Structure 1
Amino acid sequence: MGRINTWLSALPKPTFGLRTKVILIASFLLVLPWIGYKYIQEMEQLLRQGQEQTLIGTTRAVATALNERPKLFSDQASFLESVKVGRDLYAFDLNNPIQLDGKLNDWTDYDDKMLHYGREYVQFSRRPYMDNSIHFRHMIGKYDGYLYASFAVSDEHPILRRKNATRVDRNDHLILAMTSPDGEFYRYVIAAYEDGWVNAWQIRDDITDSANLSIQTQIQGYWKTTPEGYNIELRLPLSFIGNKLGFALYDVNNRQNREIDAIIGTSNTSHQHRLGAVLVPSPEIEQILQGMGHTSTRLWVIDRHQRVLAQTGDIQKSNGVWSTSVKYASQDNSWWSAFEARFLRPLYYRFLLSEPKPFIDTGNDASLIRGVHISQALTGRGYSHWRPSADGKTMILAAAYPIWLDNNVMGAVVAEETTIGIQTLRNRALEQLFNSIIAIILIGTLTLFLFASKISSRIRRLRDEAEQAIDSQGRIQQPISPTRETDEIGDLSRSLAGMVGRLGQYNHYLENLSSRLSHELRTPVAVVRSSIENLSLQATDERSQRYIDRAQDGIQRLSTILSSMTEATRIEQSLQGAEKERFPFNELVTGCVHGYQMAFPNQRFSLDIKQAEIEVIGAPDYLAQLLDKLVANAEDFSTDEDAIEVSLTESTTMALLTVSNRGPLLPKNMSDQLFNSMVSVRPQDKQTKPHLGLGLFIARLITDFHQGTIALRNRDDLQGVEAVICLPKAPAVSNTDMATREA
């Protein structure tokens, strides 16, 4: 864990500027689209709830118009306790009239509504019923006052009526039985001589007696033989039909005896009470719905057996009341609207929104509509729920409300609407919201960015002035210009300007302190020295002489200190007027090291210099004095057994002088401070003569004058310290300049 913490602490910490921080703060503005989107979602939920209440109100209004009106339901088989599919027939609404040709092409769109009649609908069979026995597919529909019926019969041995035959029951034939609107029972027979147009014969009593048959021209049809058997299409006026209807096919397979082999049909057509009920959508209810159908809603009225009595409206146009708000919204022809339509809206609908898509909803089977809202309504309470369309591309709101008759539920009103209106309204609201939010974000971010840029530029300018005001040695280079701004940065600028001004005055005092002290102390020192010298000329005892000697030693040390202070001041002043020249630096270093060997006979020296000439531009006397200070400093900290190593190398543009000695290492965080005046880290055993730390200070002054760098550091082997001076090399001399110098 400790290693991990150490590794983490060693990682560089990221730095963020003021503008970056302001941009990060401005990024919180991006929360606004999310807040706006959540708000629009809540609004959409409220609109959905409002649409539910509105749709339930619509069904309640229609149901109120149908309540307690028994005549609307008495003829619609609504009083039956139950409805049996196949026996109780439902007349579907047809989109177009049927062409009676026996081809059944006009019934293709209603193929899913045709019912199959097989074994369970057999009423009589001379032999056991087989899979290949007679069966048929059948449905009825209404259009423009007529009832149409289709029969697709599968019969291996179709037998038609013989020409000139008086009987109609000794061949394949169709019996049609019904009750009239007045409740009277009627039976009709369809029997064809050949393929083609057929009419119905009304049966008054026994079908075997032709005298009991009379033609009924209002009931028309077409008989057509097919490879599977035959097809029959019929048409009869709706005014003929009451609330009972049944069909039965009589099958004859033997051409000799022509006996009936099987009877299969929707119901028993021999007796009125055995007929199935027929439900024909109510014209009266449709008229009521038409009066209320001028809304964007699809309306249904069903009986208690969940069969449709009337219908109006188109689900493709049932967008709800909210679609009106979008449809009749004012159009804006401004440049912003054009920009939004061309750039922003495609962007929104690519990533955020979705356009309402065309959908397909096949609707319910009109003969039996199911749904939880239907079940709830038929139990006596209004209910609404959402369901997906048949293709799942949109949501449809369905609501149902019961229709009452003598405290009994006789049916329900069903209304359906899509959410396209709400979706379109939501999209428009989101577009306007996103437009406003984008404008706010852009303007806010730009304003904050410009504000942060101005603040950061002012702070950066103040930082640059502060850095330029004080050099690396802590001397005041130039004052800080105070600003007139009245904010906190302006206050800071004026405070820093005042502080730098006071520091400049103090530094000026410190810089002149040494010269003033040396000037003021020389006279007292001279007086004391002369007095001690005069005193020493008089005869004194041994004890007094010892005190005189100690006083003379102290005066000598004080004179040395004053000389050092004067030297530092003098060098600093003389460097300002010194002239530079081009000279070989390696020869200077070699000569100086040879002199050090004689000046310090007990100290060993090691010299490492390349034979190639290394030229610099500078003042040789001062560079020699620089080397003197470094060697003297190294000699103070080294022993006589260890050599002081002096080396001179070069790079492309720099000359590198290194003075290295074995000895104590540098204290931590003191390498830079040792170049300041009055700073020294010599131990007590090295204090045999006064040291004010001015040697390295003078070395730094000379290095700065030559535009070089000086540094103290511990050696790589941690056995001592080395001083490294980098001086710029003199630029290369061309052949022309060389010839000029030689001349």
Structure 2
Amino acid sequence: MRKAAHAMGQHRRTARRWRLPLGLRFTLALAMVPLLVLPLVGLRFTEVMTELARNERLENQAQAARNLAASLHERRDLFELGAAAGDRRAGAEPLPVELLADVVVDHDAGEWLEVPGRALPMRAPEGTIASVMRVRLAAARSQERPGRFYLLVDADDERLVLPEIRDGRRLAGDELIVEHGLHADSMRPLHVQPQERPGGWIAEIAFETEPALLRVRITDVDYLGSRRVEGEADSGLLAPVRPVAAPTHNDRRPALWADAVRGLARASGRVSVFDAAGALLAQSGRVSGDPPPADEWQSRLARRLLAATLSLRPERFLDDSEPGAMPAVPPLTRALSGLPAQQAERISAQAGLPAWMLTSAQPLWVGDRVVGALVLEENTGSRLGVAREAIERLALLTAAAMVATALALLAVGSVTVARVVRLRRQAEQAIDSRGRVVGGIRAPLFRDEIGALAESHANVLERLRQHQQYVGNLRGRLMHELRTPIMVVRSSLDNLAAEADPQRQEAYLARARDGAQRLERIVASMGEASSLEAMLAQSTLEPVDLAALLNACADGYRSAFGSRAFEVDCSVGEAPCPVVPEAIVQALDKLVSNAVDFAAPGSPIVLSLRRDDEANATGADRWVFSVGNQGP
């Protein structure tokens, strides 16, 4: 009893186990999640192809810079007065300075779009590259306000964290310190408060007089509450590149440089020539900025979709140096040291296409002395106009295809769920609370798996209805068969109790025995029927020729009942069918025994086999055995 109760309790706990209610629509939605990776794969492929094109363009630019530098080698007349490097600041790297019409300190980088920048790699306290922030420096002079100097610090950051005082304790924040002065040991720090912008922060610093040396230091802290230092940047000493000096009356170089500049003007991008001290001697061309994006609603929608796609992945840090390595030396500094240099700086991304500032620098030689450097700069964003439009169109088509796919899958899922729910309701309504079949399942419209399931349910219900009718008819048959022998036994017993004559009592007892024997035969027949059903359920089907089986049984009956004539009515030659032959022989034996008992003397007993022409749901042939006789 304890074991049974324990097993029953365990079964109930198992039955009450919670199951995750996952519907078919939710499963289809989960199946569509991998489709979101396709735009990322496409954008990554586009980036790789753009990087390959960038590398090829950088090689072509380096070859063009070598060709241009070859025309300036051994030109003593051009570098006669600027060959000495004594004016160059020791340990300071040249900082290119752009000349703009005017600069307004409004913390808007709109006028700085075409100004080449310098990337500052962020370093984590452990010496590894910090991938959460990207900083760009740019310097400019104003034509409207001569003598003034402007510095732009633009950072892509997760959030600007300002220092604050809380409970009498100062909490660290993002810091920007710009040091400036004439000498490295007498520089003055200037604490600058950046202004937050979407995706980062920006700072514009204006100097009344141009500083000889600059140094920019940045500290980035965690914005989640701990305020720990996540990254630091230090530009080192920077020396702004001096502008082209005004020509003097006896200086022959302006005319010579005018001829040289006409040769440099054929190059793509901007060509700058510096002397050994880092001063700008000549410049030709310009760095074209990114073309303005289209203002149609399709382009705006495509850009928003691409921005949302790019936000699904972390932005890669643009510095490809190894963790703990020193920052890359600018190309101008390397060229003034006598080494050719190349640099590709990622400055923006248009519709998922990255734009680079390509820089190639070549040293200029007079004899065995470096007298200057030639720098060739180009912005690849100026070439991305057509590609950007193609990417935007592709983004719209991809989004439309994904939306159509999602809607189609949801529609298929909704129709499938509706059909399954309809089938479940029909199955539940087909059987009432007392287990009786009171309804049916309508024929399906579609011949698919769900339609086959509906047909299977309909067949099951039809068999249940037939069994229910059989059980209902069995009750009436039993009452009809049992009523007569019961009445015979009862009346015989009543008469026996009232009769005193021994002979008549013996007659009533015989009648009672006949009624009891009839009841016994009915019970035995019911047992045999139950045994036959059990045997059919446990037996395996064998392929048998029913015509040959019928002829064999007829021969056996002729031998067993010699006084009777047996005829076989079978028009088919062969009748193969998977059956239980013992059950068929047993059924024929009972039918023939009944026919022998009730057939008229001299009349034949006919054994027949015919194919049933009634349609079968399984498509297999149905055969009918029958035993016929002529009664008295």
Q: TM-score, normalised by structure 1?
A: 0.38
Larger radius of gyration: 1
